[in-house]
Chains A and B, each alone.
Chain A
């Protein structure tokens, strides 16, 4: 459309070349996606570390001092009542919600702060580079409705990593095959079931070849009979060694896949440990009350 073109031009002018253009970003240091298995400069440090994270929305303090370390290939599940800060915690990790205070480290680097910056100012480009390595799957999918399944999966590699179109689509197709949706490549999200949409959303995140995947209640918006196809994909990811943090109410799934369960309440991690301990023999009364409420439902 002429109109589309005109708008594109205007914005291209406004951006003043801030956006990665094909060819540039590939050579940009820090954006080459390394696999956990390959040579690892900071093998000693945790993949992710949160230190004294607080998050306040006006008068409401949603996170009240969160400390957390996540090792590579670990699978974490966060449980807790609604309003306990689980989702906010996930969104603080990639700074979709910047923490009010506290620091986040990813691969030993402080998130959003340029290497060597003593004052710790947030730098947007550093931040986007970190986000590109962390996949986030939303409760409500948030697929791009104007793009096909393939367009949704290819847009990250194309617009963020700067891959040429053919290469981005190749990669998108590979990832769609992985979630079993190769046949839906040309279908728009509004023609997909909820389960299929969520699998495309997972594929969209995977296409960036992330080192960490965050799942924010990925099955909560699904009809019960569609939950299985999504957890199946997640189970496979876990088996392949992807580092994962998920917020979920699927206790059976959490028990099976997870190394560590965190119970959150009122902005704090109240209890944590292996699923057998936290889910079956919780020590904290609030954990017990929550689990009782969940299983009775």
Chain B
């Protein structure tokens, strides 16, 4: 059994690097999340489009991403694409990989949100003379974002944890630094506990934010009974 002093010494040696890694983790997560939030809506709306080829195309992409491991995707982007002359940094590849996967995943969440809004809303908007796209933008989407928000925050938390796959292609984020220091100090268990604590500390505020936002935004919108 080691003493508390020894443990505190390890913490003080390792923590700064882990926190630097955590910063990169946040960067990777935030960048992919931003892309997913925006492009996810696009894919969801396209998947509900009246034009069949567009529907099939987006459905194909979403289905493919569902069965395709993110790790494989990352390796293809980082090690595969250079053979076709497309080079990117490990950081760029990881953001892109997580986005390509996450957009598909999040678009399904959005689609559920859009479809949960009573059809009468779309009809009322169109009866006023709105085009389908305008009704979507001004009436349906503002309501579905409220429905979707809890799932969106869950997705963000998931993405934060998932971003650890970036360590496999050498992005110096939290997980990478944790493994490196664990091996260097022969104290893998202790270091990994610290890594876990940092992931937890980053996720908890998100989860709390979700609760508050949900109460605030969900005040007037009730999901249609089906």
Contacts and interface: CB of A to CB of B under 8 A. Distances in A.
Interface string A116-152: 0000000011001101111110101011111000000
Interface stretch (B61-69, B82-90, B142-150): B142-150
A143 B125 CA distance: 9
Interface string B26-44: 0000000010011101100
User: Interface SS of chain B: helix, strand, loop or mixed?
Assistant: helix
A6 B133 contact: no
B221 interface: yes
A243 interface: no
B145 A7 contact: yes
Interface residues of B, number: 37
Interface string A249-270: 0000000000000000000000
Of A6, A132, A142, A188, most B-chain CB atoms within 10 Å? A142
B129 A156 contact: yes
B128 A155 contact: yes
A96 interface: yes
A11 B120 contact: no
A138 B134 contact: no
B131 interface: yes
Interface in B125-162: 125-134, 136-139, 141-143, 145-146, 152
Given A10-B42, A96-B123, A142-B123, A159 B219 contact: no
B45 interface: yes
B121 A188 contact: no
Nearest to A7: B41
Interface string A218-241: 000000000000000000000000
B133 A19 contact: yes
A241 to B, nearest CB: 22
Contacts of B132: 124
Contacts of B222: 145, 190
B128 A208 contact: yes
Contact of B131 (A1, A7, A10, A18): A18
B127 A94 contact: yes
Contacts of A15: 133-134, 137
Interface string A62-97: 000000000000000000000000000000001010
B127 to A, nearest CB: 4
Contacts of B139: 144, 155
Contacts of A140: 120
Contacts of A164: none
B131 A146 contact: no
A204 B123 CA distance: 14
B131 A19 contact: yes
B52 interface: no
A160 interface: yes
Nearest to B220: A188
Interface of A: 1, 3-4, 6-12, 14-15, 18-19, 94, 96, 124-125, 128-129, 131-136, 138, 140, 142-146, 155-156, 159-160, 188-190, 204-205, 208
Interface of B: 34, 37-39, 41-42, 45, 118, 120-121, 123-134, 136-139, 141-143, 145-146, 152, 217, 219-222
10 contacts: A6-B38, A7-B41, A11-B133, A11-B141, A14-B133, A124-B131, A131-B128, A133-B129, A146-B146, A159-B128
Q: Give the 4 A-B residue pairs with the shortest CB-CB distance, closest first.
A: A132-B129, A142-B124, A142-B120, A136-B127
Given A132-B129, A160-B129, 4 more contacts: A6-B34, A19-B133, A145-B221, A189-B220
